[in-house]
Amino acid sequence: MILISPAVGRAQSAATATAPRKLEVDDYFRIRDVDDPQISPEGKWVAYTVTTKDLKDDENHDRIWMMPAAGGTAIPLSADGVDSTSPRWSPDGKYLAFISGRHDKPEQVWLLNRDGGEAQQLSSTQQNVKHFAWSPSGDRIVLVLQDPTPEELEAAKDREEGKDANEDKPKHAKPWVIDRLYFKDDEVGYLDRRRTHLYVLDVATKKTTQVTSGDYDDSQPAWSPDGKHLAFTSNRTAEPDRNYNSDIWTVNAGNTDQGKTLHQVTTNPGEDNSPAWSPDGKWIAFVSRIEPKALDYETRHLAIIPATGGEEKVLTLALDRWVIDPRFSPDGKSILFILEDDATQNVASIAVEGGPVKRWIPFRPMVTAYSISKQGTIAAVVSDPQRPPEVYVLDASAAPRRLTTVNDALMAQLQLVNVEYVHYKSKDGTPVSAFLYKPLDYVPGKRYPTILMPHGGPVWAFYSEFYFEPQLFAENGYVVITPNARGSTGYGQKFSQAILADWGDKDFEDYMAGLDYTIAQGLSDPDHLGVNGWSYGGIMTNYCITKSKRFKAAITGAGESLYITDYGHDIYEKDWEMELGKPWENRALWEKLSPFNSVQNVNAAVLIMGGDVDWNVPIINSEQLYLALKSLGRTTELVVYPGEYHEFKAPSHIKDRFERYLDWYSKYLKGTSGTANASAGGASGVPAN
């Protein structure tokens, strides 16, 4: 059984005792997402963002809030209805800078006095500010900016001249001219040669100076403690589009030659990123991938190197777990990071010399972001299976303390199912872990229709966090199992790498063994099994229904089935060639792994979904699978959502998806009429929204 903190356990018990009710689809939009906790330098305040999913205007809104670190009343810092993100304290703690787009202008850095007053605009760039960071003295800010488009330059000129931006606008857009190997990205589309570089903004004069340039993308800037240099991540190989060999570089922050004079710190042939300076400026900690042949299945290690370059020392080699977002402790004696391990993400630390790893949270948490004060107090966003993310305060001398109560009023109304973390063995004896959700009305000895949920990735995992979708299924009478099959992170590189160039083999067996486990436990009805996944979860759903006839119903979202179709059409040309080889040279493997080539084996009722502008996994895969199943006379339906990328954004579309999920399984897994979405389209061709 999942362990949760005592405070959370008491709150949940109180909620259940007062007014419990069943979870419903619209509760997803009542949950507010807490993120990006920023503790002030002296440790007295914590700023954070809250995202609201608004069904009424069909948009998501971000707002910045602040609370005393000791606890108290939450104070809104940004205006309601004006999206604001990325709060960052000035080094003296008097000001809070953030990113906001206002008056139909590009997103800029704004400055707010902590004591109140109107926000003041700091930056005035022609394009959106992607990221920023204060200098240690607070007199400068580094900006991450992509080269502006001709349209952005023209719009900036129009604003200066007071013209209407839509005046004399061409009727048709100009053609894309493409000459890059990596030429497409999800949520962007076709790519040109515009690159992302670093600029330094003088806070007093508001003058901006470009400090890096070239046909490369620069990101993740970090100031040296003396404010003289910037460390950053960049792939500056001869052909960056052909590899993932990013390195850590440094540049003089006062450079006026646009970064022509740089210093390369790391030389590892794999990917190095996320630089962090030691307090004395002598060392840089970073995340390093030291086995590039393992591709995305490789463990991300914590490493340290002299700031001037030299020998890289990997501190977490024996740990064999992913490390995320390293930062030095204020005294420089240890390095903190987010540690992924066994379906959790915890704040962890290790001495700069190496040694044992300390985990800061005693229960099984999901930590997604954190920050550190000058005294070493940590503010972190933490979730567990019974509670959406909230801000916690962590101190080495005390137990974790939950600070925010953003979702407490809602959670007090809900009766959630308990979540168990279970273990079983696959067909070949490999240990596999999974989260198990029993129906809200579970009665021992009774068997229930069951939904198997493969996760996305493939290099990803289900974590010890609040997950709405399986909760929704369980509260509607289904057993749900979410295995971390081979390919998942958090269990070591060997476990993850087991499916390299072998999708749908060992991971398929791990998923089937998960169903066997729930059947052996007396939970699942073997004649009423369903499978449901998105992205690589959709791919695994396609494997499941083409390799096994155990399933009565399936929902496959944003998945792939005929891999050759993706080559040159999605965003993964490097990954395809590195993992499967060039298709004209190694076509047999491409065809062997494609579940489309066994589509005639499908006997499940299959609902297929996707976004029409998804370049991560283009909708053509869903269209091909749908047409094949339709041609074979199988029960199937295709739902295409207009204007959606790989990760859906419109609340109305997400609501429609959940309702269709329930309808489909009610009809084809339970054998009852679906009623959750009376307005759903389908064969009649009625639009999804």
pLDDT tens per residue across span 579-627: 999 999 999 999 999 999 999 999 999 999 999 999 999 999 999 999 9
pLDDT band at residue 161 using 50, 70 and 90 as cut-offs = low
Domain ranges in the chain are 148-194, 417-670
Q: What is the DSSP string of 410-478?
A: HHTTB-PPPEEEEEEE-TTS-EEEEEEE--TT--TT--EEEEE---SSSS----SS--HHHHHHHHTT-
Q: What is the DSSP string of 381-419?
A: EEEETTEEEEEEEEETTEEEEE---TTHHHHTTB-PPPE
Give the contacts of 132 (CB within 8 A, at least 6 positions apart): 86, 88, 97, 99, 109, 123, 141, 142, 143, 144, 201
Q: Which residues of 32-67 are buried (b: 16+ CB within 10 A; e: fewer)?
A: bbbebbbbbbebebbbbbbbbbeeeeeeebbbbbbb
Chain position carrying tokens 């070949």 = 428
CA distances from 378 to 70, 398, 518 (A): 12, 12, 40
Give the contacts of 6 (CB within 8 A, at least 6 positions apart): none
Mean pLDDT along residues 127-134: 97
Task: Estimate the crossing angle of helix 468-475 against helix 651-665, to 10 degrees.
Answer: 40
| Rounded CA separation 580/588 (Å) | 10
Give yes or no for residue 9 having a pLDDT over 80. Answer: no
So what's the pLDDT on residue 531? Answer: 98
Query: Which amino acid, one-letter code, is at 141?
Result: I
Our measurement of the distance from residue 654's CA atom to the centroid of its chain's CA atoms, rounded to an integer in Å, reads: 17
Question: Strand, helix or coil at 142?
Answer: strand
pLDDT digits (tens, 9 = 90+) for 557-574: 999 999 999 999 999 999
So what's the pLDDT on residue 165? Answer: 59
Question: Strand, helix or coil at 298?
Answer: coil
Range of weakest confidence among 116-130, 335-349, 462-476: 116-130
Closest to 617 in 3D by CA, of 561, 551, 555, 685? 561
Q: Tell me whether residue 239 is exposed, middle or buried, using C-beta atoms within 10 angstroms of its C-beta: 0 to 12, 13 to 18, 19 or more.
A: exposed
pTM: 0.92
Residue 240 token pair: 């960056």
Calculate the dihedral angle through the C-alpha atoms of 266, 272, 273, 279, rounding to the nearest 10 degrees. -40
pLDDT digits (tens, 9 = 90+) for 233-285: 999 999 999 999 999 999 999 887 877 789 999 999 999 999 999 999 999 99
Question: Strand, helix or coil at 306?
Answer: strand
Closest to 133 in 3D by CA, of 211, 235, 32? 211
Question: Strand, helix or coil at 555?
Answer: strand
Closest to 522 in 3D by CA, of 427, 451, 438, 416? 438
| Rounded CA separation 601/619 (Å) | 22
Beta-ladder partners of 229: 252
Centre a 10 Å sphere on the Cβ of residue 678 and count the other Cβ atoms it contains: 8
Closest to 90 in 3D by CA, of 125, 115, 61? 115
So what's the pLDDT on residue 19? Answer: 59
| Rounded CA separation 346/326 (Å) | 12
Question: Strand, helix or coil at 248?
Answer: strand
Give yes or no for residue 525 having a pLDDT over 90. Answer: yes
| Rounded CA separation 242/23 (Å) | 47
Range of weakest confidence among 45-54, 96-105, 373-382: 96-105
Q: What is the mean pLDDT of the chain?
A: 92
| Rounded CA separation 654/80 (Å) | 23
The answer to whether the CB of 61 falls within 8 A of the CB of 47 is no
Question: Strand, helix or coil at 80?
Answer: coil
CATH of domain 417-670: 3.40.50.1820
Query: Between 151 and 224, whose confidence is greater?
Result: 224
Chain position carrying tokens 């993740």 = 220
Residue 302 token pair: 């914590």
The answer to whether the CB of 41 falls within 8 A of the CB of 89 is yes
So what's the pLDDT on residue 679? Answer: 36
Angle at 192 (CA atoms; ends 187, 196), nearest 5 degrees: 75
